[in-house]
Amino acid sequence: MPKSIIINKHGGPEVLELVDTSVPSPGPKDIRIKNLAIGLNFIDTYHRSGLYPIKLPCGLGMEGAGVVEEVGSEVKDFRKGDNVAYASPPLGSYSDERVIPEKIAVKIPDGINHKIAASIMTKGLTVHYLLHKTYKVRAGETILFHAAAGGVGQIFCQWAKSMGCKVIGTVGSDSKIDIAKKNGCDFVINYNKESFDKKVLEITKNKGLSVVYDGVGKDTFEKSINCLKPLGMMVSFGNSSGALDPIDVRKYIAPKSLFFTRPGLTHYGAERADLVEGATLLFEKIKFGKVKIKIFKEYELSDAKKAHEDLASRKIIGPALLIPNE
């Protein structure tokens, strides 16, 4: 019988339960897929802990890749046997099989396997909207990205470099400096050893930056604001170090007429045209070698608790997967 991970209460990794699951037939506009690989993302820990509230009981995970097993009566773009990937609610990708709306799925092109597809959808589509939608970077521009050695960071830095940007990346330890450099960073700063805002101003000759991309949150917010030039944009898209405190607009935003945004894939990928556009460009970056993916670690679905423990302790450096039990 197919299995899935569910939670009946919020909490730590211990609340993850592996249970038998009855998978229904797809509705008219749904597809039933057999997952072959499932993406692990830090946002999964937010749903589990309750930082991002969800209605319980609930499955976890938004990202996966697999094979279409059955299609609904009104489905036109997919057929049984198609290789597909997805990265969007409803939650529940931590499962052997599941039913999803056809509108959130995309076909995986030849030359890209299920593991790579499952590891890049959420992270890659996030990078797409950050660089092409939220703030449209230009060739020659210097930009700052926090957590440059992480799963999103590795894709972001390669992608930004392919667009002609000069990339400043921050990391939390010296062991991650080489990882960030190998993935395209021109400058790497260990923010636990140096004041990264002072270093950024040194690199930019006190001009500052037009944009900062920050998925770390509480620990990096104030110094990130210091890095921006007047009319710059603060892109806060995550909070791995903790959620931001309420922002004092007069103190942080008004002095330099800054822009602040908290973007999310749920909105940037809400329209199917945007999803297809982002996925197409992402797959092209992979196929033509502009973005190279190295899977950091694989866990069996039954080891989801261990995977979440490693996520929380920052032991996962780069894309990681859950693999459904055979």
- Write b or e for each residue in 218-238: b if 16 or more Cβ atoms lie within 10 A of its Cβ, otherwise e: ebbbebbbbbbeeebbbbbbb
State the distance between the two ends of the chain, measured CA to CA, in whole angstroms: 11
55: burial class by Cβ within 10 Å (0-12, 13-18, 19+)? exposed
Tell me the per-residue pLDDT of 128-150, one tens digit each, with 9 for 90 and over: 999 999 999 999 999 999 999 98
Mean pLDDT across the chain, nearest whole number? 95
What values do phi and psi take at 7, rounded to 5? -125, 140
Give the model's pLDDT for residue 183.
Answer: 95
Angle, helices 272-287 vs 114-129, to 10°: value is 120
Handedness of CA 171, 94, 6, 309 (dihedral sign): negative
How far is 301 from 64, CA to CA, in rounded Å? 12
How far is residue 278 from each of residues 39, 130, 171, measured CA to CA in Å? 17, 11, 27
The DSSP 8-state label assigned to residue 95 in this structure reads: B
Report, in this order, helix, strand and coil percent for the chain, each rounded to 5: 35, 25, 40
Residue 205 pLDDT: 97
**Per-domain residue ranges of the chain:** 3-121+266-276+294-323, 139-262
CATH number of 139-262: 3.40.50.720
Which residues are CB-contacts of 181 (< 8 A; sequence separation ≥ 6)?
188
- Looking at residue 325, its pLDDT comes to 80
- Going by C-alpha positions, the residue among 139, 125, 192, 207 that lies closest to residue 167 is 139
Average pLDDT on 32-45 reads 95
Question: For position 326, what pLDDT does the model report?
Answer: 66
Q: Do domains 3-121+266-276+294-323 and 139-262 have the same CATH topology?
A: no
CA distances (Å), origin 10, targets 20, 38, 40, 50, 228: 20, 21, 18, 5, 37
Q: Is 286 helix (H, G, I), strand (E, B) or coil?
A: helix
Q: Rounded to the nearest 5°, which phi and psi values hold at 26? A: -70, 150
Mean pLDDT of the 5-12 span: 97
Cα–Cα dist 202/17, whole Å:
50
Mean pLDDT of 295-300: 95
Percent of the chain residues past pLDDT 90, beyond the cut? 88
CATH of segment(s) 3-121+266-276+294-323: 3.90.180.10
- State residue 318's pLDDT score: 80
Q: According to the model, what pLDDT value does residue 219 have?
A: 86
The string of pLDDT tens digits covering residues 86-142 is 999 999 999 999 999 999 999 999 999 999 999 999 999 999 999 999 999 999 999
DSSP character at residue 13? G
- Total Cβ atoms within 10 A of residue 284: 12
Residues in a beta bridge with 213: 145, 235
Tokens of 105: 């799925």
Does pLDDT of 322 surpass 90?
yes
Within 110-253, strands assigned E span 142-145, 166-171, 187-190, 209-214, 228-236
Distance (Å) of CA 324 to CA 38, 95, 104, 209, 319: 8, 7, 21, 43, 17
Q: Is the pLDDT of residue 243 over 90?
A: no
